[in-house]
Amino acid sequence: MSSNQCIDWQGNLACLQPSGLVLKSRHTVQGKHVFGPDSDYTTLAISGLELLSEETEINQINFDSQIDSFVMQACGYSLDKEATWNLICDSDSASISICKNELVSWDVSGTEMDEELFTKMNDAWKEEMNAVSQGAFISEQSYRSGGPSRMNFNSQSLGEIRIWPPREMIGDQRPIAAEPMKKSGKIESWTKLSAGGAPSEFSLRAPILGGICTVFVRLDEGPCGVFLIADDEDLEPVIGNSVTFAVRKIYAQDGLIRYGLKALLS
């Protein structure tokens, strides 16, 4: 692994070190790193593992209960208490360390976040966890069964055609499982739902964010999809521009955080 190399990565601050990686939220409140509007330890963990996997293969990892094990599994990582790699959450800040033996650390300044916005978003997520859906209810079973395609772009192939999300076919057509698609594409259209016009799942957070923005993206490998933009993105979408994707919190329902891929604007 290369010597210390610090970069912006999926809206976070990452430092690759010879012994591992440290990933911190770029947001701070009074100098302390805090989670962005749709981030937590789980989203940091997936982001850090994706970066680290560009230099070394990681399939099994030891992590604690602050990380959602289902999301990890859906993204291709399994829990193993005897694994070589350890994922450690910093209980005092929005930061994780991924290392083999000794804990790695890194001091870096973030971007100060409005403290009122931070407090309001946290309160909204807590209230949403206990709220009753008034929109399109998605059961926990449906959420879990679609996890690998929603969070890792698992897909199928039928000849030269890539199919996403995977589906049952009728007749003689028999698509086969394919490698996960690349997390990149181009914006073909976009829209912004007003704060008062957002679905009930987002009704508590939409007014705080000034609305909810979505993009219609053609992925580099063919299929199209509609995606939310990461809640801490400040840029306005531009048709034809490229986007990448990162796992973020989507909404909460029945006491369960629902995760999925959100678009990151270039």
With H, G, I as helix, E, B as strand and everything else as coil, classify residue 160. Answer: coil
Q: Please say if the pLDDT value at position 1 is more than 60.
A: no
157/187 same-domain check? yes
150/218 same-domain check? yes
What is d(CA 264, CA 245) in angstroms, rounded to the nearest whole number?
Answer: 6
137/231 same-domain check? yes
What is d(CA 245, CA 91) in angstroms, rounded to the nearest whole number?
Answer: 26
Q: Which residue has the higher pLDDT, 113 or 139?
A: 113
What's the pLDDT score for residue 136?
65
Q: pLDDT tens digits for 58-109?
A: 989 999 899 999 999 999 999 999 999 999 999 999 999 999 877 778 888 9
46/20 same-domain check? yes
What is d(CA 191, CA 229) in angstroms, rounded to the nearest whole number?
Answer: 10
Confidence of residue 3 (pLDDT cuts 50, 70, 90): low
92/152 same-domain check? no
Last residue of a domain, one of 113, 143, 170: 113
What is d(CA 21, CA 14) in angstroms, rounded to the nearest whole number?
Answer: 7
134/48 same-domain check? no
Of all residues in the chain, the percent with pLDDT exceeding 70 is 97
* 118 domain residue, yes or no: no
Helices (H), ranges, the chain: 41-52, 69-74, 115-129, 140-145, 147-152, 206-209
* 122 domain residue, yes or no: no
31/96 same-domain check? yes
Last residue of a domain, one of 113, 147, 171: 113
Domain count, the chain: 2
* 105 domain residue, yes or no: yes
232/180 same-domain check? yes
Check whether the bond before 165 is cis (ω within 30° of 0): yes
Q: Report the candidate in 143, 116, 123, 148 with the shortest Cα–Cα distance to residue 46.
A: 148
CA 131 to chain centre: 22
* 53 domain residue, yes or no: yes
C-alpha count within 13 angstroms, C-beta hemisphere, residue 140: 7
Of all residues in the chain, the percent with pLDDT exceeding 90 is 69
What's the pLDDT score for residue 24?
97
Last residue of a domain, one of 47, 80, 113: 113
Q: pLDDT tens digits for 195-254?
A: 777 788 888 999 999 999 999 999 999 999 999 999 999 889 999 999 999 999 999 988
What is d(CA 20, CA 43) in angstroms, rounded to the nearest whole number?
Answer: 18
What is d(CA 265, CA 72) in angstroms, rounded to the nearest whole number?
Answer: 24
Q: pLDDT tens digits for 145-201?
A: 999 999 999 999 988 899 999 887 777 778 898 889 999 999 999 999 887 777 888
* 121 domain residue, yes or no: no
Q: Residue 192 phi/psi, 5° resolution?
A: -130, 125
* 124 domain residue, yes or no: no
* 210 domain residue, yes or no: yes
Task: Please state whether 20 falls in left (phi above 0), alpha (psi between -120 and 50) or beta.
Answer: left
137/202 same-domain check? yes
137/256 same-domain check? yes
62/141 same-domain check? no
**Owning domain of residue 184:** 129-265
54/177 same-domain check? no
> What would the two tokens of residue 80 be?
């193993």
Mean pLDDT, rounded, for 48-67: 91
Contacts of 142-145 spanning 24+ positions with Cβ under 8 A: 143/256, 143/258, 144/70
* 120 domain residue, yes or no: no
